[in-house]
Amino acid sequence: MKQGIDLDRSRYPLVVMHASEKYTQADWDQLMVGMIDLIKTGPFGLINDTRGSGMPDAIQRRSIAKMYADHEATVRKNFLASGIVGTSTVVNGVLTALNWLKPPPHPVKVFLSVDQAEAWVLLHFAPALLELVAKASVVSDAQATRAAR
């Protein structure tokens, strides 16, 4: 993965976020712009793959809280679920504890694999959204095959 933070919308309404080990504050600020755009666009679910990246610092955690506060009604309506993927039970325990202290306005669960997170996030999707993910996945797979040639 390149440096920074990638917000992959290729399978929208299922979105995958991955941060490199050394993302910058500017990368984080761009992520927040992208998240607000997602929230305003319509229903979606997020897989947050934290493997290989650091935990958000206090300023970054405040920006998440501000996003939730400033867009609360839209977040509650459109942010269906977030599956967080971590590399260790310790990291997962910390993420779980943080979510207990200040729960976000949507379901959140921590997993050790992307596949587990995806399956859980998709449980929160209506059938029409599941169809959109399936169609986007076919297109994404076809593009990857063409790119590999």
Judge whether residue 36 has pLDDT over 80: yes
Judge whether residue 38 has pLDDT over 80: yes
Contact 49, 18 (CB under 8 A): yes
Judge whether residue 103 has pLDDT over 80: no
Q: What is the pTM of this model?
A: 0.86
* Section 93-121 average pLDDT: 82
CATH number of the domain enclosing 54: 3.30.750.24
Tally of domains within the chain: 1
Average model confidence (pLDDT) across the chain: 87
- Identify the pLDDT of residue 142: 59
Judge whether residue 95 has pLDDT over 90: no
pLDDT digits (tens, 9 = 90+) for 55-76: 788 898 889 889 999 999 999 9
Domain with 128 in it = 5-148
Cβ contacts of 26 within 8 Å, gap of 6 or more? none
* Section 34-56 average pLDDT: 93
pLDDT digits (tens, 9 = 90+) for 3-25: 899 999 999 999 999 988 889 99
Q: How far apart are the first and last CA of the chain?
A: 20
- Identify the pLDDT of residue 3: 81
- Identify the pLDDT of residue 90: 59
Spatial distance between the Cα atoms of 121 and 14, rounded to a whole number of angstroms: 8
* Section 120-137 average pLDDT: 96
Q: How confident is the model at residue 86 (pLDDT cuts 50, 70, 90)?
A: confident
Judge whether residue 41 has pLDDT over 90: yes
Sign, Cα dihedral of 68, 42, 38, 126: positive
